[in-house]
A and B are shown apart, each in its own frame.
Chain A
Amino acid sequence: MKSAQFLRVVLGAYIVLFFAYLFGPLILMSITAFNSSEFPRVTPWDCFSTDWFNVLVEDKRIMTGLRNSIIIGFGVVCLSVPIGLAAAMMLTQVGRRMKSFFYTVVVSPILVPGVVLGISTLIFWDRLGTMFDASYNSVFYNGIFLSILGQSTFVSAYCMLVFTARLQRFDPVQEEAALDLGATNAQAFVKILLPFLKPAIGSAAVMAFLASFENYNTTIFTIVSESTLTTVLASKVRFGINPSISALAVIIVVLTLICAIIHEAMKRQEARRAQAAKDERVVADYASVGRFATSPWGIVLLVFLAGLGTIWLATRYDTASCKMRLQDERQLRLEQSTPSTPAVTPGAATPGTTTPSTTTPTTTPSGSEPAAKPYQGIFAPQNLDQVAPKDEGEAAPAGEGKSDGESKPYQGIFAPQNLDNVAPKSD
């Protein structure tokens, strides 16, 4: 009895941990999108704000990258799905020895590092371009074109795997039956095989689009002078990040969620319809409110309502005045701390961060000396809760940590904006 209970507790803890591991970063990032702070973070919470969504939409580079990513994604879908389908069908036709050889050939792009694919695509088309003496505006140097080709090499292999899985369940006698009834090969393909493959085509297309959309390794080479969302984001991380990225993440997460839920809803509806065909009472039974609320459509509705609520809150909530108030507080703190020795402000300090005031100067990003009082003062509140626990990591400004609140090096990297924005106002 006891051990069973213990096991259940452990299992529960494991599940919680697992989900925290999976979704923790996503949730945290989503929250940062609504913090008015210049840097994506949750604590300290400045003001609730939806401004970052505006910033995102107005960011030309991100928007161009997004547009290119979508164009490339569609291109890859249009190219990879037919290629993958053809390859999968080929596999079912050829003899056994030929089969394993052909399979290896088609699958090999998955095994080749994306970087290699990218570089080789680029070089190949560059050589071709040189051969034909093409200008840099020609298709040989078109980043979108090259990216579609480069990504399709391995995405079509993924598609082929999806199709072979489905084709294995196809009864070839079906096709023979169609032929026997007078269908041509083309008719048998269109009327028998394609309808059977429809679900696989759908999932292959979605998978191809997503694989293309998130690809970086290959794209960074094949995109040449243009940009996709991933390359823009990567370069942004290098030059400073702000929560508009989080806003983008929120949009993508929500879109994914809604698509997944709708997909699930449609699947369940299908199953229900099949059930209903057997037993008509089930339909009537299903029409209760509780069932609806827990059904996927109900969840979509709830998500939609939650979204509306957020927007409504956002319009009600006066971010500007909150920011103003925050500004005043900072000003006040600044004034308090300048005359005396840099005292720890009680409001911002958490128990673990009550570091001796002497350490504060040494951990400021710019390596400023104690004499550079104004700057030090401005940074003090933030530094106190973020830097102190990380004292030992201060010498690693190139650290790759993702979470905002934990590292000071990032503060250093991303600080320039903070400096620009905050410092002038403090004068």
Chain B
Amino acid sequence: MSVDVKLEDVWVRFGSFTAVKNANVTIRGGEFFSFLGPSGCGKTTLLRCISGFQEPTDGKILFDGKNMAGIGPNKRPTALIFQNLALFPLMSVADNIAFGLEVRGIGKAQRRKKADELLDLIALPGQGDKKVGELSGGQKQRVAIARALAVEPEILLLDEPLSALDLKLRQHMRTELREIQKRVGITFIYITHDQGEALTMSDRVAVMSEGVIEQVADSVTLYDRPEKPFVASFVGENNDFRGRVTSVSEGYAEVETSEGLFRGRVSEGNRDALSGSGPASIFVRPEALKIAGTATEASNAFEANLLQEEFEGNMRHLVLESKGGQRLRMTLVNDGHVLDYGPGSTVPVVFNPELAIVLPQEA
């Protein structure tokens, strides 16, 4: 039923511009897989390659091991939900949903039956005779999903389908999409520039930057064990101390920064890149920074000036400035203690090497 998709050394060039650089990724059957990256990084281009609207300049796209080169979009077992949905405005909702069946020569009664079934699935029962223009944004969204599901694709491709919706609806649709995926059990390939969407819905996420797939991992790994500086700073918030590596040992490395010598974790993959004394960054999440004395174990310590405090009920966000002039953010859980420091005072800060990540920087 579900098909895995493999991209092998895929390159896409538009004239002199390279939109996708050497993409290698395997998407497993039945998986909810996301491509996450800032605008213009080549996500849509990659998706168009998978759906068949764009031939890769180089490399192969395999569905279950079968090369898809030269097979048109109407011959692939994919259905694409477009960034702007692309519903057919001149047709009714039911006709939109049944379009894929109509072009396959399926009879009217059967089409209608299928459309009604899908309208039930997307919680719009009995609305098949409406015009597309009479639907709300979220309803259109769901109709687009139903239209794509009607052709019983083995891979559903979704190009930022929620970006046009307001926050509330977006959050609601996230859950709904995930549920639909579980119900139909097919491969979902989802594109977004919203990390919240990617992290909450996906089994695995590929983070892209400027045409390069930086890291493919599940949400927790992406957040806790980023492999690339771009991933570390793009996914969630991070404090970035720059410096040079002084030593590497047993999964840890020490970095000489303007704030002092810090220790942090090093992944297997980055170990070689960090040996020698190349430029590196040590990334620490705002919630990993603590005020000295409150944390039990914290070998990395420095001092910083408190600029400002933002109170958010359950959280306190502190904006600090280090001695080297770097802005930092610290997040404290509000546990009822009154903060001992006011704006302008010097705060002793510590963090656990276990929660700090050392990553090589480009020279």
When the two chains form their complex, are residues A187 and B79 in contact, meaning their CB atoms are under 8 A apart?
no
Stretch at the interface among A134-142, A174-182, A290-298: A174-182
Take A191-B103, A277-B134 as given contacts and tell me if A181 and B147 are in contact as well, using a CB distance cutoff of 8 Å: yes
- Report yes or no: B90 in contact with A176, Cβ–Cβ below 8 A: no
User: At the interface with chain A, which of B70-78, B186-194, B232-240?
Assistant: B70-78
Stretch at the interface among B80-88, B215-223, B271-279: B80-88
Please give me the 6 A-B residue pairs with the lowest Cβ-Cβ distance, nearest first: A181-B100, A177-B86, A183-B103, A173-B86, A180-B80, A187-B103
**B interface residues, Cβ below 8 angstroms from A:** 51, 53, 72-74, 78-80, 82, 84, 86-88, 90, 99-100, 102-104, 134, 147-148, 150-151
Q: Given the complex of chains A and B, what is the CA–CA distance between A282 and B102 in angstroms?
A: 36
Report how far A262 CA is from B134 CA in the complex, Å: 28
Within the assembled complex, what's the spacing in Å between the Cα atoms of A200 and B82? 27
How many A residues touch B, CB cutoff 8 Å?
A: 18
Which residues on B sit within 8 Å (CB–CB) of A180? Answer: 51, 53, 73-74, 78-80
A171 contacts across to B, CB distance below 8 A: 84, 86
**How close is A194's CB to chain B, nearest CB, in angstroms?**
10
Minimum CB–CB distance for A60 against chain B, Å: 48
A176, B53: Cβ atoms under 8 Å?
Answer: yes
On whether the beta carbons of A182 and B103 are closer than 8 Å, the reply is yes
- Is the beta-carbon distance between A179 and B99 smaller than 8 angstroms? no
With CB as the reference atom, state the residue of chain B lying closest to A192.
Answer: B88
Chain B contacts for A187, CB-based, 8 A: 103
- Provide the bound-state CA to CA distance between A20 and B221, in Å: 81
Contact A195-B151, Cβ < 8 Å, known A178-B103, A182-B103:
no
Contact flag A173-B90 (CB < 8 Å), given A179-B72, A181-B99, A181-B100: no
- B104 touching A182 by the CB < 8 A rule? yes
Chain B residues within 8 Å of A414, by CB? none
Q: Is the CB of B84 within 8 A of A176?
A: no
A96 → chain B, closest Cβ, in Å? 13
A359 CB within 8 Å of chain B: no
Question: A196 contacts which chain B residues (CB < 8 A)?
Answer: 90
Does A176 lie within 8 Å of B73, measured CB to CB? yes
Interface 0/1 of A167-210, CB less than 8 Å to B: 00001011011111111100100011001100000000000000
Would A179 and B88 be within 8 Å (CB), given that A184-B103, A187-B103, A191-B103 are in contact? no
A196 CA to B72 CA in the complex, in Å? 24
Interface centre among A173, A177, A191 (most CB of B within 10 A): A177
Contact A176 B86 (CB under 8 A): yes
CA A277 – CA B134 in complex, angstroms?
9
Interface centre among B51, B73, B102, B147 (most CB of A within 10 A): B73
